[in-house]
Amino acid sequence: MKLENDLIKQDELQLMIKIAHLHYQEGWLQRHISNELGLSAAKVSTLLNKALEKGFVEIRIRDPFAPLSELEERIRTEYGLTFVKVVPGPFPSNIALKSKLGLHAALFLQKIVRKENIVGITGGSTINGMVTADVFNTHIPVMVVPINGGVSQSDYHYTGNTHAEKLAKQLGGSYLQVPFPTFVSSPDTKSAVMKDKSAEVLLKQAGKADIMVLGIGTVCTSLLTLPHISREIEIKKLKDKGVVAEVGGHFLDKDGEFVQTDFMERLIGIEFEKIKQAPMVMAIAGGIKKSNAIHSALLSEVINALIIDDPTANRLINS
């Protein structure tokens, strides 16, 4: 009797292995195996499950994106963020980099934005990649407003005003405009501008933003709208003060601490604390040259969500 039972078990084992071979290696469907071997579909399914349970079959999934997921989690944990998206390359050009970052930023924004939200936005070529990404497929009545001045003759397409208009049209919402540059020529000019009712109302709205969408600038990129001669002088002043990053017209040192500069007396925009108080602050930034600036901005604890490229993300973790 024992010998007979042993033979039955051996026959079932051989059948189990044969079915597993046909299904997992040859790619046969279960119904094909059932018809070919004259077994019920339930019997085939049972033997396949047994093969898995007993370890005769091992299924391994090679996830090519696993390293990126691990990288996202490391950055999220290290900097205390709620969301991180690491965008994989290749990036054949700086334009391609900003376009891909903008695409993923647009997809994230579409997930989190709600009707009647106020969306504050900055200027910058990376933000332009988001507002021109043709992926928004919903109508959301939002209000989009620049969080600082957005007038520039040389970089019109990259100003907060232009971005507010483009994003509002993509989402089907409305927008406001700040008819002044980010930095005016003197504190007296700022004082006069801030007394203007239109500027006061616009920036008050920006300060109430539910979502802030920010670029992260270096010392050099933050002053591109200034005349070349004065730009070089101002850059040196900022570097001497230890400035490495600019966020929303505000300057930060390598530790993410706010640096008081003469620009604060000339800034047409909302206060740094107002940015911090927004429920969601998402930053879009990339490029190895910006890694120190991004690190500084993240240390400031103003940012909740980050969209960044793979090489720069690795630099953040390994530096």
For residue 80, how many other CB atoms are within 10 A of its CB?
11
Q: What is the pLDDT of residue 225?
A: 58
Q: What count of residues does the chain have?
A: 319
Q: What angle do CA 38, 43, 44 make, to 5 degrees?
A: 75
Q: What is the CA radius of gyration of the chain?
A: 28
Burial class of 60 by CB neighbour count within 10 A (0 to 12, 13 to 18, 19+):
exposed
**Beta strands, E only, 90-235:** 118-121, 143-146, 174-175, 211-215
Residue type present at position 223: L
Helices 310-318/66-79 angle, 10° precision: 50
Q: Which domains does the chain have, with CATH numbers?
A: 2-53 (1.10.10), 66-318 (3.40.50.1360)
How far is the C-alpha of 167 from the C-alpha of 145, rounded, in Å?
10
Kindly give the parts of the chain with pLDDT less than 70. 1-8, 60-66, 151-156, 222, 224-229
How far is the C-alpha of 182 from the C-alpha of 202, rounded, in Å?
14
Structure tokens at 245: 């990053």
Cα separations in angstroms, 109 against 88, 150, 241, 301, 302: 19, 21, 35, 20, 17
DSSP one-letter code for 117: -
Question: For the stretch 44-55, what's the b/e string if a residue is b when 16 or more beta carbons lie within 10 angstroms of its beta carbon?
Answer: bbebbebbeeee
In 3D space, the residue among 197, 213, 224, 209 whose CA is nearest the CA of residue 247 turns out to be: 213
- H/E element holding 14? helix 2-20
- Phi, psi values for residue 84, rounded to 5°: -140, 130
In 3D space, the residue among 314, 175, 183 whose CA is nearest the CA of residue 250 turns out to be: 183
- Phi, psi values for residue 288, rounded to 5°: -55, -35
Q: What is the pLDDT of residue 14?
A: 87
Distance of CA 52 to the CA centre of its chain: 40
Q: Say whether pTM exceeds 0.95.
A: no
Q: What is the pLDDT of residue 146?
A: 94
How far is the C-alpha of 3 from the C-alpha of 8, rounded, in Å?
9
* Helices within 80-178 (DSSP H only): 94-112, 125-131, 160-171
Question: For the stretch 61-70, what's the b/e string if a residue is b when 16 or more beta carbons lie within 10 angstroms of its beta carbon?
Answer: eeeeeeebee
Q: What is the pLDDT of residue 7?
A: 44
